[in-house]
Structure 1
Amino acid sequence: MMELDPAATFRQEAADLLDSLETVLLDLGQTPADRDLIDAAFRALHTIKGSGAMFGFDRVAAFTHDFETAFDLIRKGKIDANHDIVTVSLSARDYIRALIEAPDATDPIIGEAIVEELQRLIGRGDAKGAAGAAAPPAAAAGASLASGQGGWRITLAFEEQILRNGANPLALLDDLRELGPCTVLPDLARLPALADLDPESCLIGWTVTLAADCPREAIEDVFMFVRDEMRLAIAPLAEGVPDVRPGFTLDMAEAAAEPAAPRPEALSAETASHPLPGKAAPAPAGAELNRRAEDKGSTVRVQAERLDELMDRVGELVIAQARLSQLAHSGTDLAIKAIAEEIERLASGLRDSTMGVRMVPMGSLFGRFRRLVHDLSRDLGKPVDFVTVGEDTEMDKTMIERLADPLVHLIRNAIDHGIESREARASTSKSATGRIELSARYVGAQVLVTVQDDGAGLDTARIRAKAEEQGLVQPGATLSEQEIHQFLFHPGFSTARTISALSGRGVGMDVVKRTIEAMRGAIDLTTIPGHGSSVTLRLPLTLAIIDGLLIRVGEGRYIIPLSAVEECIELTAADEARSRGRSFLSVRGELVPFLRLRELFDAQGAADPHQKVIVTAIGGTRIGLVVDQIIGSHQTVIKSLSKLHADVTMFSGATILGDGTAALILDVAQLVSLGQGRADDRTPEAA
């Protein structure tokens, strides 16, 4: 049986907590008075500190302690949350991640500078402590219930297996001591004879007298993540009657022997309504946060590599099922045909279920860019509202991973080039705060991801001038605005007047185009001068299995992604005559250039007498592909080409057909570019 690495478990749990912390801090920057957000930030920091100390990440625990203290002061109202504290806390979050992932490569000077900045900000707000300490009369009535006048008496005992689960009761007692002076008395009544003692069982209880006027919540927070594995009773010293919280049931005789123990009837009533299930494994560091999501359905963490392996196995099963179906239908045995149909149904269901498991909501990707917008807005001095729409739209996890870098470039460009300065926006009667909207939606078998800003829009004249300067177009050539805007995606093209850390080298949009085309997607770019620009990425749902159209060109068979196919028509002799060698086809009054795949692929033998034209479209550009035969639709499992075929741009992959032979998958985006280039070279005469 594979043993879990505690350090690896902590790193994974800490990564989730740090992601949640970043989201909470960004929200807190917009609503600094939100008590729920302040509490959430404190809990995340408290968990990271406690778990870090437990698993040996002492530098993490020591560094996090200062920020936990700061948010504790904010919770108590002694200082206010503000933009500066949120900003330094975001820097601290990044430093904590570095301490966890690469502690040896992390410069301690950076951590010291962050802590010094925090202390400076806290010191600025210390004057509020005296004023904030005076609670209004309405709140004063409940103050004695929230804090122990003269201190607290705390009685606690843990389940026997808590040591095996990784918790350290002595460390929890140390946390109590940080709240104030403590007197700790052990209860040894449950200890057996020495011969029967199990060193891994926790049989000692404690009674703690805490001489500190702290809130009850501060004590409860110490035991936040072990509450289900202990009995905790808290009472003000002035009352002497502990407040019983749900937990496991101790033997009543033992409980009665404890100082200030709860009344047996109260204890039995509480534990009867809160039974403790048996536990076989320790709760993760984020158990308290995860427990809140149980009502929404339980989840299981699975390594991404296992999902990839499962998808590969399902792909092989789909190929084998296709071969079985072809063999079954070529014979006359009805029983074999029935089995083949049943396996086809099961394979189809398994394929859909596996692809569903791999689907990830876009919100998991969109959340990453809030920090990007926050930092760029600060660095460039441009206030920006970042709005996301369609977070529930799902895509394959592989698509999500590849989409991150292109969106980073698009959002950077939108803020750097699109959104104007405060002064420029004021001169055009715009709001001082810019707006960037990141949205996702389904359109057929595609997902459309759009980055839209309300900036100045594209300067078409400047783009054209830069293109002429670089020799990309001849001066005076007739080009549409859409064609001019496409120069933005040319390698090395930039309209920036100066090179900065963000832009000016002309590589960002080139990266976007190459990445999106590698994902079999397309880019639509629109702009309205003075009102902003919009970049839409058209993407398939998945890169693993697609619906394809199986065609024949000469003796070879090929696959065209069905999502790119608009219609199929016959290339008649009249169409051939009208084109007059210019390779244009009139489709309902619109001229569509077409490519003869026989010529591109150097197919041998005579062409079929009734050739077909498959009209495809990518990003609003249409092109026809002339083929010999359309065989039909085909469930296509995509296999990547080897590195030896890296320069073969017309194909994006390959698949295995039912008879065991291979078929290449056409890269429609590359064919559209090729056809468009030929159309530019040979403009047709009016039909």
Structure 2
Amino acid sequence: MSQFKETFKEEAYELLGSLEDLLMQLEDDPNNPEAISAVFRSIHTIKGSASMFDFQGIASFTHVVESVLDGVREGTVNVSKKLIDLTLLSRDHILSMLNADEDSTPEFEEVSQSIIDEMKVLTGEIAEPQNENSSKIEKQADSNENVESIYRIQFAPDENIFLSGTNPLLLLNELSQMGEISCISYKDDLPDLDIFNPEICYVHWDIYLTTKQTLDEIKDVFIFLDARSKIDITRISDWEVMVNEDPNPKLGEILIDKGLIQPSDLSQILDSRKKIGELLVEKGMVSSSDVKSALEEQKISSSIKQNMGTGSTSTIRVQSDKLDSLVDSVGELVTAQARLSQLAVHEKSSALQSLAEQIERLTSDLRDNTMSLRMVPIGSTFLRFKRLVRDLSSSLDKNIQLVTKGGDTELDKNVIEKLNDPLVHLIRNSIDHGIESAAERKKKGKDPTGTITLDAQYTGANVKLMIRDDGQGLNKEAILKKAIEKKLISPDAQLSDDEIFNLIFMPGFSTAQSVTSVSGRGVGMDVVRRQIDALNGSIHIKSEHGVGTEFSLHLPFTLAIIEGLLVRIQDEKYVFPLSMVQACMELTAEQRENHGKKRLIEYRDSVIPYIRLRELFIYDEELPEREHLVVIQTENTLTGFVVDEVIGDHQTVIKNMGKLYKGINYITGATILGDGNVALILDVNRLSTLAKKGSTLNDSNK
């Protein structure tokens, strides 16, 4: 029983998560019947399952909430801010009871009663409890409402139907609004063009309709047709019947069922080796349209069997730790495959090389499929913040709306999980520091309602995540003043806008005039920078005083396996993320002399800065005659990195550095090569910043 209870909890967590999103939608659009029904269904499902698995505290409480929401469905209770507040509070209370060892404690009962009392005040009535039998009847009624049936409609309009002003296509369109529809048109009676009469209807149809509507409701569509038009509506199957039937219907059986052929005709055809449909058409027993119609019916039946058949499901639940273990195993397999490929080259065996290539293809497919399992749309994370914005803006007496874009952009679930805290910090700061009160915004000629925008988009093999607000922007003078007070910079320091904005990421830095429950202690933005760095990402700020602020986060898809470019510096090997590599060029000794100390090179009609990694990482041996320059793109900036040799692409399994190496600049991780040696993965974002600054190589951060 404990196993089933855990399954119930998992389902309840998902329902409560979606419930919060639905309530936010309902607050924006109070008259949306779909949102109202979805909210009701979520609570109804939790109530029924809680009662089944003996969570009586949850069951009794959700019953009252369900009664109120039923009033919303029936139109007797209006959707208001108070109703949304109470339903959100109920959602949080149910979550607390789920997380506790016991859901029927006196403390929980007290909270439940207080929420129920508030709901009684809101509705003006007391919801009476239902007995067990009525609950079962209600549940059975709900299940019956959800049963869909498949109807075969044979529609042969009278040839003079156009003369009565009736358009058969409008009837087909009305049917399509009842459910999923598939039409087969019979055009065998169409005459040659020289005798074609546009006032005569030569076409008839077989229509397959999957719907929850009744037979009488379907007949009502054709109620105004005259008696000369032929309508034959047959309920060929219920979903449940089709799911439980073992064999799929055969083509011949469907044609017999439609009365197009006799069983004796089918027996004669089966003795031949040709396809049934082809032989029946050849013998003139049925038309090609008849066969096409029967095949469509067979296709519908097979599709239902495939999607809803016994023993098969479209999705399954997998524990995240099992998925992580699978990714780790695939990572080890990628490393082993690299060793096999290297061994095949060394042994010079064609058979071994052929096997290694086959293993490499299979490993690559397995890697891509496994990584796709961990990819999650970021939209689910975006929706969580609607509640945060709503509650915080209300507590600070501000009018703020959250706009989300690019919710279908996918990221590794581990990246998304670690991204939650940084986003919370950034959104809270935008609400508290960035967006002004409604009165201030009116004085400035702005819309009284402020806007925070979350926008995600792909940039190569990375994701760019932007958090924008239309508030007052960052005050450069206030930031400089505070930095000088805290002795973070000297009073005569000359800083660019980017350098000034980056000061807010310093530990303990805050320009807030007072500490609030939301922010002001200076413990948020430095945490944001550290957590983004831990994700091998970068964060950049754009701000215009009085207009707003934008934080841009550049993040990798995954923290597990990437495609890399393997390079060599002296005897050591390094890896660039291949998605950021734009080109590889040769750099000769003559070019080095011409450049002198400028460290600039021409690339595609532009001049880009470059940095020599040999000097940065302090390799003392003499420079080779020819070096290679790797051009990397970060954001919209191109930067060059000089190495001794470019080896080629490499499937890179990212390994975290040990605690001893934590915090080393310009390195984000390591990978194991096929020969067992270790290659370091370069932090190209920081290296690009260093190259743009033209930093000298005796920097203390080396």
TM-score bracket, shorter-length normalisation:
0.7 to 0.9
Cα-to-partner distance string for 1:123-153 (whole Å, 9 max, x where unaligned): 2442899xxxxxxxxxxxxxxxxxxxxxxxx
- Equivalent position of 1:252 in the other structure: none
Does the 8 Å CA contact 1:419/1:434 hold for their aligned counterparts? Answer: yes
| Residue 655 to residue 583, structure 1, CA distance change in 2 (3 Å) | farther
Match of 2:138 among 220, 238, 242: 220
Does the 8 Å CA contact 1:618/1:669 hold for their aligned counterparts? Answer: yes
Q: What are the within-5 Å matches in structure 2 for residues 302-317 of structure 1?
A: 302-317=318-333
Indicate the larger mover: 642-651 or 470-479. Answer: 642-651
Are 2:420 and 1:422 equivalent residues in the alignment?
Answer: no
- Equivalent position of 1:382 in the other structure: 398
Are 2:28 and 1:13 equivalent residues in the alignment?
Answer: no
- Equivalent position of 2:202 in the other structure: none
Equivalent-residue separation in structure 2 for 1:665 and 1:7 (angstroms): 45
- Equivalent position of 1:282 in the other structure: none
- Equivalent position of 1:60 in the other structure: 58
- Equivalent position of 2:87 in the other structure: 89
Equivalent-residue separation in structure 1 for 2:116 and 2:660 (angstroms): 55
Cα-to-partner distance string for 1:569-606 (whole Å, 9 max, x where unaligned): 445445655666x5733546988665543344444643
Match of 1:119 among 104, 117, 141: 117
Does the 8 Å CA contact 1:88/1:118 hold for their aligned counterparts? Answer: no
Does the 8 Å CA contact 1:79/1:126 hold for their aligned counterparts? Answer: no
- Equivalent position of 2:409 in the other structure: 393
Q: Return the offset for 1:402.
A: 1.5
- Equivalent position of 1:142 in the other structure: none
Q: Which amino acid aligns with 1:77?
A: G
Residue ranges of structure 2 left out of the alignment (5+ in a row): 148-210, 213-233, 246-306
Are 2:510 and 1:494 equivalent residues in the alignment?
Answer: yes
Q: Which amino acid aligns with 1:76?
A: E
Are 2:579 and 1:585 equivalent residues in the alignment?
Answer: no
Equivalent-residue separation in structure 2 for 1:330 and 1:596 (angstroms): 32
Does the 8 Å CA contact 1:25/1:86 hold for their aligned counterparts? Answer: yes
Residue ranges of structure 1 left out of the alignment (5+ in a row): 130-171, 179-217, 230-244, 247-267, 280-292
| Residue 114 to residue 105, structure 1, CA distance change in 2 (3 Å) | closer
Are 2:241 and 1:275 equivalent residues in the alignment?
Answer: yes
- Equivalent position of 1:37 in the other structure: 35
Cα-to-partner distance string for 1:631-682 (whole Å, 9 max, x where unaligned): 1221111112222332434422221212222212223344445556772899
- Equivalent position of 1:402 in the other structure: 418
Q: What are the within-5 Å matches in structure 2 for residues 60-209 of structure 1?
A: 60-103=58-101, 109=107, 112-113=110-111, 115-126=113-124, 174-177=131-134
Equivalent-residue separation in structure 2 for 1:67 and 1:20 (angstroms): 16
Indicate the larger mover: 608-617 or 387-396. Answer: 608-617
Equivalent-residue separation in structure 2 for 1:69 and 1:666 (angstroms): 59
Cα-to-partner distance string for 1:167-198 (whole Å, 9 max, x where unaligned): xxxxx9933458xxxxxxxxxxxxxxxxxxxx
SS at match of 2:131: helix
Cα-to-partner distance string for 1:87-131 (whole Å, 9 max, x where unaligned): 1211111111110112459985476346435533532442899xx
Q: Return the offset for 1:492.
A: 1.4
SS at match of 1:466: helix
Match of 1:529 among 545, 549, 566: 545
Q: Which amino acid aligns with 2:63?
A: H
| Residue 649 to residue 111, structure 1, CA distance change in 2 (3 Å) | farther
| Residue 119 to residue 37, structure 1, CA distance change in 2 (3 Å) | farther
Q: Return the offset for 1:441.
A: 1.0
Q: Return the offset for 1:31.
A: 2.1
Equivalent-residue separation in structure 2 for 1:298 and 1:307 (angstroms): 18
Does the 8 Å CA contact 1:650/1:670 hold for their aligned counterparts? Answer: yes
Does the 8 Å CA contact 2:86/2:119 hold for their aligned counterparts? Answer: no
| Residue 417 to residue 48, structure 1, CA distance change in 2 (3 Å) | same
SS at match of 2:503: helix
Equivalent-residue separation in structure 1 for 2:239 and 2:592 (angstroms): 83
Cα-to-partner distance string for 1:380-419 (whole Å, 9 max, x where unaligned): 1111121111111111111111111111111112211111
Does the 8 Å CA contact 2:57/2:104 hold for their aligned counterparts? Answer: no
- Equivalent position of 2:680 in the other structure: 664
SS at match of 1:410: helix
- Equivalent position of 1:159 in the other structure: none
Equivalent-residue separation in structure 2 for 1:652 and 1:21 (angstroms): 39
Does the 8 Å CA contact 1:554/1:604 hold for their aligned counterparts? Answer: no
Q: What are the within-5 Å matches in structure 2 for residues 340-489 of structure 1?
A: 340-489=356-505
| Residue 334 to residue 509, structure 1, CA distance change in 2 (3 Å) | same
- Equivalent position of 1:327 in the other structure: 343
Q: Return the offset for 1:422.
A: 0.5
Equivalent-residue separation in structure 2 for 1:501 and 1:111 (angstroms): 29
Equivalent-residue separation in structure 1 for 2:373 and 2:239 (angstroms): 37
Q: Which amino acid aligns with 1:523?
A: I
Q: Which amino acid aligns with 2:77?
A: I
Q: Return the offset for 1:450.
A: 0.9
Q: Which amino acid aligns with 2:131?
A: D
Does the 8 Å CA contact 2:561/2:652 hold for their aligned counterparts? Answer: yes
**TM-score normalised over the length of structure 2:** 0.71
SS at match of 1:360: strand
**What percent of counterpart residues are identical?**
43
SS at match of 2:367: helix
- Equivalent position of 1:202 in the other structure: none
CA RMSD of aligned residues (A): 3.5
Indicate the larger mover: 606-615 or 474-483. Answer: 606-615
Equivalent-residue separation in structure 2 for 1:370 and 1:562 (angstroms): 36
- Equivalent position of 2:208 in the other structure: none
Does the 8 Å CA contact 1:91/1:114 hold for their aligned counterparts? Answer: no
Equivalent-residue separation in structure 1 for 2:103 and 2:130 (angstroms): 33
SS at match of 1:611: strand
SS at match of 2:314: coil
Does the 8 Å CA contact 1:416/1:502 hold for their aligned counterparts? Answer: yes
| Residue 564 to residue 507, structure 1, CA distance change in 2 (3 Å) | farther
Indicate the larger mover: 569-578 or 23-32. Answer: 569-578
Q: Which amino acid aligns with 1:11?
A: K
SS at match of 2:241: coil
Does the 8 Å CA contact 1:593/1:679 hold for their aligned counterparts? Answer: no
Equivalent-residue separation in structure 1 for 2:308 and 2:432 (angstroms): 42
- Equivalent position of 1:555 in the other structure: 571
Q: Return the offset for 1:219.
A: 4.9
Cα-to-partner distance string for 1:344-364 (whole Å, 9 max, x where unaligned): 111111111111222111112
| Residue 100 to residue 562, structure 1, CA distance change in 2 (3 Å) | same
Does the 8 Å CA contact 1:583/1:595 hold for their aligned counterparts? Answer: no
Equivalent-residue separation in structure 1 for 2:641 and 2:486 (angstroms): 33
Q: Return the offset for 1:222.
A: 6.0
Q: Which amino acid aligns with 1:275?
A: V
| Residue 123 to residue 650, structure 1, CA distance change in 2 (3 Å) | same
Q: Which amino acid aligns with 2:520?
A: G
Equivalent-residue separation in structure 2 for 1:430 and 1:391 (angstroms): 27
Equivalent-residue separation in structure 2 for 1:583 and 1:474 (angstroms): 28
Q: Return the offset for 1:535.
A: 1.2
Does the 8 Å CA contact 1:496/1:504 hold for their aligned counterparts? Answer: yes
Q: Which amino acid aligns with 2:456?
A: A
Equivalent-residue separation in structure 1 for 2:17 and 2:316 (angstroms): 18
Indicate the larger mover: 488-497 or 35-44. Answer: 35-44
